[in-house]
Amino acid sequence: MLDNDEFMLETSPRELTQNPLRKIWMPCKNGHIAQRRVCMTNCPTLIVTVGLPARGKTYISKKLTRYLNWIGVPTREFNVGQYRRECLKIYKSFEFFRPDNEEGLKIRRQCALAALNDVRQYLSVEGGQVAVFDATNTTRERRGTIIKFAEQNGFKVFFVESVCEDPDVIAQNIVQVKLDSPDYTHCNTEEVIEDFMKRIKCYESSYQPLDEVLDRDLSYIKIMDVGCRYLVNRVLDHIQSRIVYYLMNIHITPRSIYLCRHGESDLNIKGRIGGDSGLSARGKEFAKSLRKFIQDQNIKDLKVWTSQMKRTIQTAECLGVPYEQWKSLNEIDAGVCEEMMYEEIQEHYPLEFALRDQDKYRYRYPKGESYEDLVQRLEPVIMELERQENILVVCHQAVMRCLLAYFLDKTADELPYLKCPLHTVLKLTPMAYGCKVESVYLGVDSVNTQRDRPENVNVQRTTGDALQTVPAHL
C-alpha cells in the first residue's frame, strides 16, 4: 500500500548485486544482500474436495498436487481415508460407513481433525502454500467445520466438487482404483464392487451438494460428468484461477504420450552442449527406426510435436506425418556456454561450472536459462498435453527431463538428473493415480550425454574432480 509512511524517496539508491547462482539482481547495502521483503499477500490456500466415493476426488487431488508442485507452488495432499486406515488398521466392510454407526462416525471425525491439524502444520509452519484436503466432505456441517478452521488460521478455501451419475464411469473408477485399495487386499473383484457400492449408498442420503444459492459466497468449482460441464463461483485470486484452468483442461480419455529426444546430433558426438546442429549418421538411423516403431504402435490420431531446432525437426521429418513446431520446446539456453564442451566450460568458467553442480535446478547460465526457467516456459506445453490425446513429443535432454518430472512427479532436486538417453522412446500411459512408463530403446548406438553430479561441487575443486563424471566423446 503506497501511503505516506511507507514511501521513501531514496536519495542514494541501493546497490544491486547479481546472485551468482540464479543470476537474479538483488539490492545490497555495504556488500550485504538485503533480505528481499517477502510478499506476504498470498495467504495459503486450502483446496477441499467434495463428492461421493468413486467420483475421482483422489485422482483430481493427486493430479492437482503434482501440477502445482511442478510449477513451483509447494503443495501437499491430505487424504482422510489414509488417516482412517492408520487408525483402524483393518477394514472389515461397508458397515463402518453406515450413518448410524456411532463408533465409526467418531473415528472418522477424529481422522478429519487430525488431518486438518497436519494441514495447519504444513501451511503455517512448514511453508506450504496449498493443501489439498481430500475427503468426501459431503455434508454442509463438515464443510462448515473446515471453513471455520480455515478462517481461524488465515487460509483461503476453494472447494472442488465432483458430481457424476453415470454408472459406467463409476464402475470404471471402482475397477481402476478401488480393486487395488489396501481396504480390499483380500477380496475378489465382485466382492469389492458389491461392498463399495454399498459404501457409496451410506453417503448418499446425507449428501448435500454445494448449492448455488446457499453457498453463493463460497469459492468453488463443480465438475459435472467428468468435465463435460463446470460451474465456477467466486474465483478469488491468481492461484484459484490457475487451478480452475487446469481442472478444466484435464481429461480421462485413455491415451499415450510418447517422449523422445532428437536423434544423435553432430554436436552430441563432439561432446558439445546446445547449438543447432543437424543429425549425425546414427541420428538419421534413429529417425528411421522411430518411424518404424511409431508405425508398429498403430496409434490412433497421433499428433507430433517438435521444437524449432534443426535436430528435432529432422527427426520428425522422417516420420512422414504432419508435425507442429513449438519454440517452447527448444533446449535450455546455455547462454555463454552454448556449443562448449564441459572441458571448455571448466577451463573458462570454473566458478559457473561448480555453481551448476551445487544447484542444477536453480542455476542459470550467464545470459541463459535455468531448469526453473524451463519449467515456466514449458507450462503451456504441459497444459496443451493435458488437452491432447495420443501424442509424440520429439525434444531435448533438459526439456524431456522437465516433462518427465511432471508426469512422474519428480522433485526439483531429482529433475535435472533424470536419465533421458538418446535413441530411447518413453511411452507414458496414465493409469489409476499415476503413469505407467515403458522405455523402448530402438537399438541404434549413440553417445551418452548424461553427466551425473560429481562428488566435489566446491568452487575450489580441481579440474579432475570437476570433470569426473563427464561422459566420453570425440
Partner 1 sequence: MELPQLEHVRLRRCDSAEQKKLTQTPLLKIWVPWMGCNLNRRRGSSVPQFCNSPTMIVMVGLPARGKTYISKKLTRYLNWIGVPTKMFNVGQYRREAVKIYKNFEFFKPDNEEAMRIRKACAAAALKDVAAYFSKEQGQVAVFDATNTTRERRTVILSYAKERGYKVFFVESICDDPEIIAENIKQVKFGSPDYVDRNVDEAMEDFVQRIDCYRASYMPIDDEKDRKLSYIKIFDVGSRYLVNRVQDHIQSRIVYYLMNIHVTPRSIYLSRHGESELNLSGRIGGDSGLSPRGQKYANALAAFIHGQNIRELKVWTSHMKRTIQTAEALGVQYEQWKALNEIDAGVCEELTYEEIQQNLPQEFALRDQDKYRYRYPKGESYEDLVHRLEPVIMELERQENVLVICHQAVFRCLLAYFLDKPADELPYLRCPLHTVLKLTPIAYGCKVESFFLNIEAVNTHRERPVNVDVNRNPEDALQTVPDHI
Contact residues toward partner 1 (CB under 8 A) are: 1-2, 6-11, 13-14, 16, 18, 23-25, 27, 37, 39, 212, 216, 228-235, 237-238, 241, 244-245, 248-249, 276, 278, 281, 284, 287-288, 291, 301, 305, 308-310, 313-314, 317-318, 320-327, 338, 367, 373, 376, 384, 387
Strand segments (E) across 403-451? 424-431, 434-441
Question: How far apart, in Å, are the Cα atoms of 315 and each of 259, 278, 306, 320, 440?
Answer: 13, 9, 9, 10, 17
How many CB atoms lie under 10 A from the CB of residue 429?
13
d(CA 139, CA 112): 13
Q: Residue 445 Cβ, how far from partner 1 at the closest point, in Å?
A: 16
From 77, 161, 262, 369, active-site residue: 262
Q: How far is the CB of 270 from partner 1 (least distance, A)?
A: 19
Shorter beta-carbon distance to partner 1: residue 287 or 392: 287
* 168 annotated to bind ligand: no
Nearer to partner 1, 380 or 471 (CB): 380
263 is in an annotated binding site: yes
32-33 and 25-29 beta bridge pairing: antiparallel
Q: Is 265 annotated as a binding residue?
A: yes
| Beta carbon of residue 30, minimum distance to partner 1 (angstroms, whole number) | 16
- What is the Cα–Cα distance from 56 to 148, expressed in whole angstroms? 26
C-alpha distance from residue 373 to each of 24, 326, 369 (Å): 12, 16, 6
Between 324 and 413, CB nearer to partner 1? 324
Residue 266 marked ligand-binding: yes
Q: Is 330 helix (H, G, I), strand (E, B) or coil?
A: coil
Q: Which helix (H) or strand (E) holds 290?
A: helix 281-297
- Asked if residues 408 and 435 have their Cβ atoms less than 8 Å apart, the reply is yes
The values of phi and psi at residue 318, to 5°, are -70, -20
In the complex, least distance from residue 371 CB atom to partner 1, rounded to whole angstroms:
13
CB-based contacts of 117, cutoff 8 Å, min separation 6: none
Handedness of CA 117, 75, 135, 179 (dihedral sign): negative
- Walk across the sheet containing 15-18 and list its strands: 15-18, 25-29, 32-33
- Least distance from C-beta 327 to partner 1, angstroms? 6
For partner 1, which is the closer residue by CB, 310 or 453? Answer: 310
Q: From the CB of 8, what's the least distance to partner 1, in Å?
A: 4
DSSP state of 337: G
Q: How many C-beta atoms lie closer than 10 Å to residue 153's C-beta?
A: 15
Q: Please identify which of the residues 77, 285, 331, 369 carries the catalytic annotation.
A: 331
Tell me which H or E stretch contains 180: none
268 is in an annotated binding site: yes
| Strand, coil or helix: 425 | strand
How many Å apart are CA 375 and CA 399, to the nearest integer? 8
Q: Alpha helix (H) ranges present in 341-462?
A: 342-348, 350-358, 371-387, 397-408
What's the min distance (Å) between Cβ of 458 and partner 1?
A: 28
Residue closer to partner 1, measured from CB, 109 or 292: 292
Question: Residue 6 or 103: which CB sits closer to partner 1?
Answer: 6
- Least spacing, CB of residue 226 vs partner 1, in Å: 12
219 labeled part of a ligand binding site: no
264 annotated ligand-binding residue: yes
Residue (116 or 425) nearer to partner 1, CB: 425
Q: Cell 495459503 appears where? A: 44
Task: Answer yes or no: 262 catalytic.
Answer: yes
Task: State the DSSP code for 174.
Answer: I
H-helix segments, 35-166: 57-70, 80-88, 102-120, 140-153
**Residue number, 28 or 197, with CB nearest to partner 1:** 28
Binding-site residue ranges for substrate: 261-268, 311
- Catalytic residue set: 262, 331
